[in-house]
Amino acid sequence: MIDLLPHILNGITLGLLFALIALGFMLIVGLMEQINLAHGSLFALGAYIAIVIVGGETVLSPFFGDFFKLMPLAWRYVAALLIAPLVVAIVGMGVEFLMRRTYAKDPLFGLLLTFGIAMVIEEGIRGVWGTRDYVLQVPSSISGGFIFQDLIWSTYRFYAAGFAAVAIGLVWLVIEKTPYGAIIKAGAHDNEMVRALGINLSRLRLIVFAFGTSLAALAGVILAPIWGIRPHMGVDAVIPAFLVIVLGGIGSFWGAVIASLLVGALVGLTGAYASEWSLLSMYLLLIAVTTVRARGLFGKKSVLEV
Partner 1 sequence: MTKLITTRRKFLKGTALSAALAGTGTFFGPWQHVRVLAQGQKKPIKLGLTCDASGQYGNSGQDDLRGIRLAIDEFNAKGGVIGRKIEWITADTETTPATASRIAERFITRDECGFLIGALHSGVANAITQVAAKTGTIYMNTNSSAPSEAGENCSRVKFVWDGNGTNFSKATVKAAIQSVGKNWLLLTNDYVWGHTTANATKGLVEASGGKIMDNLLVPQNTRDFTSYLLKIQQAKPDVVATAIGGDDLKALRTQVAQLKLDGKPAWINNQQDWPDIWGAPESLFGVFGTTWYHKLPLPGVAEFVKKWQAAYKDGPIPVPGNVSYNGYMATRELLRAIERAGTTNNIAVIKQLENIKVSAADRMQHYDAYMDPTTHQMQQTIYLARRNMKPADTTDYYEMVAWAEPKDATDDAAAGKCKLVPYEQVPTFEL
Identify the residue among 14, 171, 210, 238 touching partner 1 (CB under 8 A). Answer: 14
Does residue 279 touch partner 1 according to CB under 8 A?
yes
Does residue 62 touch partner 1 according to CB under 8 A?
no
Q: Closer to partner 1 at the Cβ: 37 or 188?
A: 37
Q: Closer to partner 1 at the Cβ: 210 or 238?
A: 238
Does residue 162 touch partner 1 according to CB under 8 A?
no
Does residue 116 touch partner 1 according to CB under 8 A?
no
Q: How far is the CB of 118 from partner 1 (least distance, A)?
A: 13
Does residue 157 touch partner 1 according to CB under 8 A?
yes
**What is the three-state SS of the chain?**
CCCCHHHHHHHHHHHHHHHHHHHHHHHHHHHHCCCCCCHHHHHHHHHHHHHHHHCCCCCCHHHHCCCCCCCCHHHHHHHHHHHHHHHHHHHHHHHHHHHHHHCCCCHHHHHHHHHHHHHHHHHHHHHHHCCCCECCCCCHHHCCEEEECCEEEEHHHHHHHHHHHHHHHHHHHHHHHCHHHHHHHHHHHCHHHHHHCCCCHHHHHHHHHHHHHHHHHHHHHHHHHHHCECCCHHHHHHHHHHHHHHHHCCCCHHHHHHHHHHHHHHHHHHHHHCHHHCCHHHHHHHHHHHHHCCCCCCCCCCHHHC
The 218-247 site mask, x for binding partner 1 (CB under 8 A), equals -------xxxx-x-x---x-----------
Under the rule (CB under 8 A), what is the footprint of partner 1?
A: 2-3, 6-7, 10-11, 13-14, 17, 130-135, 143-145, 150-154, 156-157, 225-228, 230, 232, 236, 267-269, 271-272, 275-276, 278-280
